[in-house]
């Protein structure tokens, strides 16, 4: 089969974060990890083109999936592979949207990313194969992907056994044991301590009933929070750049704005140049103080809380949310503004 | 935090992800690496926009919502800027 392989700017070797706004383009044949993928695919399948787009462009430009799909078709692709995106959010988003668009347009397509990738859900029912969390797991991720490509090329359906993640279109099949037996079996297993067994895995995100709104903010205590890893210059408390294991707090009592040079973002997920040039772009203290002076809010909480969202698992983020809620409630904070990257 | 009764305005550029994970109050940010910034504007205009962004965030926390709701910021330049 003739295959088009989608990569972001980084894996295609066109640059790092500074090239994240590159528009769609084509490279002949395989590039970057596509070379290993080609090797693993063997003679039967040929990567005829590598379709590339910068992560920022791909994640924020309307119609980009259609444009990328057009490039794949123009290269004569009979199948499209996107990724592996590992844990990269923007890249995962681009891959997921592209495979969804390709599948809907009748071009067999397959994505690859870590199950925790925030972009995964946008693939809808298009197939996505699990990859590792980081590029350190490139080889095993590509091995799994190559095997799945071979199956897809013969129109076989992919299942969890192939590493398929996210939604799977429902395919009816006859099973020997009746549902009643299977349901009782699951209950017995649950009573026996098995909290995982299920026939239908449920997504990792909870549904939350939103908090009641404040009446007005003029007398309220409001906190500023960020997951953009904004820390004092030099990162004295060593906040991680990815996969956070903790969160931190910093005093802003008496400070009217975040001074350039005194703060930095250590987030490993994007170019921090703009945030470092003016830290208020990450944590809007200057504007918040203005609102406080003008009486739009009662008072600004004396600290801001910070962590890094980059690659941080849902479970960890959930825990931080619980801890932040407790902190803020203890301090009498009534509303929060959280900047996220 | 919402569950704990603290209405929270999430300022982010990745609005679809925020909607999917169920964040109830979403305010579109200036850009992925600068949620409360817009380096393309002059410093004065950027500062004015940032204030409008926060004012929108305050509207979000004083508005009842049942499901993920996006509170767009007016991007028009203030007259005379």
> The CATH number of the domain where A106 resides is what?
3.40.50
How many CA atoms lie less than 13 Å away from A214 in the CB half-sphere?
24
Residues A56 and A130 in one domain: yes
ipTM (interface predicted TM): 0.91
Which of A165, A188, A211 corresponds to the end of one domain?
A: A165
Q: Environment class of residue A315 by beta-carbon count within 10 Å: exposed (0-12), middle (13-18) or buried (19+)?
A: exposed
Q: Quick one: which of B56, B23, B8 has its CA closest to A208?
A: B23
Is B40 touching A (CB cutoff 8 A)?
no
- Report if residue A133 sits inside a domain: yes
- Report if residue A89 sits inside a domain: yes
Contact A274 B33 (CB under 8 A): yes
For residue A246, is pLDDT > 50?
yes
Longest CA span, chain B: 43
- Predicted confidence at residue A169, as pLDDT, reads 62
Q: Quick one: pLDDT band at residue B76, thresholds 50, 70, 90?
A: low
Q: What is the CA radius of gyration of chain B?
A: 13
Pick the range with the lowest mean pLDDT from A223-227, A331-335, B75-79.
Answer: B75-79
User: Count of residues for chain A?
Assistant: 341
Percent composition of chain B: helix, strand, coil (DSSP 3-state, to 5): 30, 15, 55
- Predicted confidence at residue A128, as pLDDT, reads 96
In whole angstroms, what is the distance from residue A119 CA to residue A241 CA? 20
Longest CA span, chain A: 71
- Predicted confidence at residue A222, as pLDDT, reads 97
Q: A46, A34 in Cβ contact below 8 A?
A: no
Contact A340 B11 (CB under 8 A): yes
Q: A127, A148 in Cβ contact below 8 A?
A: yes
Q: Quick one: which of A244, A279, A24, A23 has its CA closest to B33?
A: A279
- Cβ contacts of A62 within 8 Å, gap of 6 or more: none
Q: Quick one: pLDDT band at residue A322, thresholds 50, 70, 90?
A: confident
Question: Residue A150, SS3?
Answer: helix
* Average pLDDT estimate for A248-258: 96
In whole angstroms, what is the distance from residue A61 CA to residue A102 CA? 17
Nearest CA in chain A to B25: A210
Is B19 touching A (CB cutoff 8 A)?
no
Residues A260 and A133 in one domain: no
Contact B14 A228 (CB under 8 A): no
Q: Which of B3, B24, B50 shows the shortest C-beta gap to A280?
A: B50
* Average pLDDT estimate for A91-99: 94
Pick the range with the lowest mean pLDDT from A17-21, A62-66, A91-95, A333-337.
Answer: A17-21
- Which residue segment(s) compose the domain that A301 sits in? 221-339
Which of A141, A165, A189 corresponds to the end of one domain?
A: A165
In this predicted model, what pLDDT tens digit does every residue of B41-74 receive, in sequence order? 999 999 999 999 999 999 999 999 999 999 998 7
Contacts of B71 in chain A (CB under 8 A): none
In this predicted model, what pLDDT tens digit does every residue of A4-24 receive, in sequence order? 999 999 999 999 888 988 999
- Predicted confidence at residue B81, as pLDDT, reads 39
Contacts of A207 in chain B (CB under 8 A): 22
Contact A205 B36 (CB under 8 A): no
Instruction: Concatenate the DSSP letters of all residues of B7-31 into one string.
Output: -EEEEES-HHHHHHTT-SEEEE-S-
For residue B77, is pLDDT > 60?
no
- Report if residue A177 sits inside a domain: no
User: Count of residues for chain B?
Assistant: 81
Contacts of A120 in chain B (CB under 8 A): none
Contact A275 B34 (CB under 8 A): yes
- Report if residue A193 sits inside a domain: no
Which of A165, A183, A203 corresponds to the end of one domain?
A: A165
Q: At A257, list the tokens.
A: 């704005």
* Average pLDDT estimate for A101-125: 91
pLDDT over 90 percentage in chain A: 71
- Predicted confidence at residue A71, as pLDDT, reads 97
- Report if residue A210 sits inside a domain: no
Q: What is the CA radius of gyration of chain A?
A: 23
Residues A149 and A278 in one domain: no
Q: A80, A110 in Cβ contact below 8 A?
A: yes
Contact B25 A210 (CB under 8 A): yes
Q: Where are the domains of chain B?
A: 10-70
- Mean pLDDT, chain A, integer: 92
Contact A335 B7 (CB under 8 A): yes
For residue A319, is pLDDT > 80?
no
Question: Residue A141, SS3?
Answer: helix
- Predicted confidence at residue A56, as pLDDT, reads 82
In this predicted model, what pLDDT tens digit does every residue of A153-181 receive, in sequence order? 998 888 888 889 977 666 678 888 999 99
In whole angstroms, what is the distance from residue B14 CA to residue A55 CA? 12
* Average pLDDT estimate for A180-194: 94
Q: At A277, list the tokens.
A: 């040039």
Contact B37 A282 (CB under 8 A): yes
- Predicted confidence at residue A173, as pLDDT, reads 81
- Predicted confidence at residue A311, as pLDDT, reads 87
In this predicted model, what pLDDT tens digit does every residue of A199-239 receive, in sequence order? 876 555 667 889 999 999 999 999 999 999 999 999 999 99
Q: A96, A128 in Cβ contact below 8 A?
A: yes
**What are the start-end ranges of the E strands in A234-273?**
248-251, 263-265
In this predicted model, what pLDDT tens digit does every residue of A29-45 receive, in sequence order? 999 999 999 999 999 99
A62: number of Cβ within 10 Å? 6
Which of A97, A207, A274, A287 to substitute to test the interface with B, most B CBs within 10 Å?
A287
Q: How many domains does chain A have?
A: 2
Q: Quick one: which of A235, A239, A289, A281 has its CA closest to A262?
A: A235
- Predicted confidence at residue B79, as pLDDT, reads 46
In this predicted model, what pLDDT tens digit does every residue of B26-47 receive, in sequence order? 999 999 899 999 999 999 999 9
């Amino acid at each position: 089969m003739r295959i088009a392989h989608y990569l972001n700017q980084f894996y295609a070797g066109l640059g790092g974060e500074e090239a994240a706004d590159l528009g769609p383009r084509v490279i002949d044949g395989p590039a970057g990890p596509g070379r290993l993928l080609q090797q693993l695919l063997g003679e039967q399948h040929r990567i005829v083109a590598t379709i590339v787009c910068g992560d920022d462009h791909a994640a924020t430009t309307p119609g980009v999936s259609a444009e990328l799909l057009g490039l794949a078709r123009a290269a004569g692709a009979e199948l499209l592979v996107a990724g592996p995106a590992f844990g990269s959010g923007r890249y995962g988003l681009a891959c997921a949207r592209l495979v969804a668009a390709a599948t809907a347009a009748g071009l067999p397509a397959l994505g690859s990313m870590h199950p925790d990738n925030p972009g995964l859900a946008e693939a809808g029912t298009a197939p996505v194969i699990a990859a590792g969390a980081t590029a350190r797991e490139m080889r095993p991720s590509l091995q799994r992907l190559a095997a799945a490509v071979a199956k897809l090329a013969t129109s076989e359906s992919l299942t969890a056994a192939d590493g398929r993640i996210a939604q799977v279109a429902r395919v009816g099949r006859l099973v020997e044991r009746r549902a009643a037996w299977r349901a009782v079996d699951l209950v017995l297993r649950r009573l026996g301590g098995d909290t995982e067994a299920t026939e239908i895995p449920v997504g990792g995100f909870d549904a939350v009933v939103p908090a009641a709104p404040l009446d007005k903010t003029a007398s309220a205590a409001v906190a500023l929070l960020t997951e953009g890893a904004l820390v004092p210059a030099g990162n004295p408390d060593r906040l991680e750049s990815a996969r956070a294991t903790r969160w931190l707090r910093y005093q802003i009592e008496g400070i009217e704005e975040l001074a350039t040079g005194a703060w930095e973002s250590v987030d490993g997920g994007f170019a921090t140049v703009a945030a470092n040039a003016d830290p208020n772009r990450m944590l809007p203290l200057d504007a918040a103080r203005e609102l406080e002076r003008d009486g739009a809010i009662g008072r600004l909480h004396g600290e801001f809380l910070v962590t890094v969202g980059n690659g941080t698992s849902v479970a960890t983020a959930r825990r931080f949310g619980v801890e932040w809620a407790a902190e803020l409630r203890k301090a009498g904070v009534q509303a929060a503004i959280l900047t996220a990257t | 935090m919402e569950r704990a009764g603290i209405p929270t305005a999430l300022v982010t550029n990745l609005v679809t992800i925020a909607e999917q994970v169920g964040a109830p109050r979403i305010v579109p940010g200036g850009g992925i690496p600068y949620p409360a910034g817009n380096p393309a504007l002059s410093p004065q205009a950027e500062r004015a926009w940032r204030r409008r962004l926060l004012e929108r965030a305050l509207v979000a926390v004083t508005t009842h919502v049942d499901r993920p709701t996006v509170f767009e910021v007016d991007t028009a330049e203030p007259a005379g800027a």
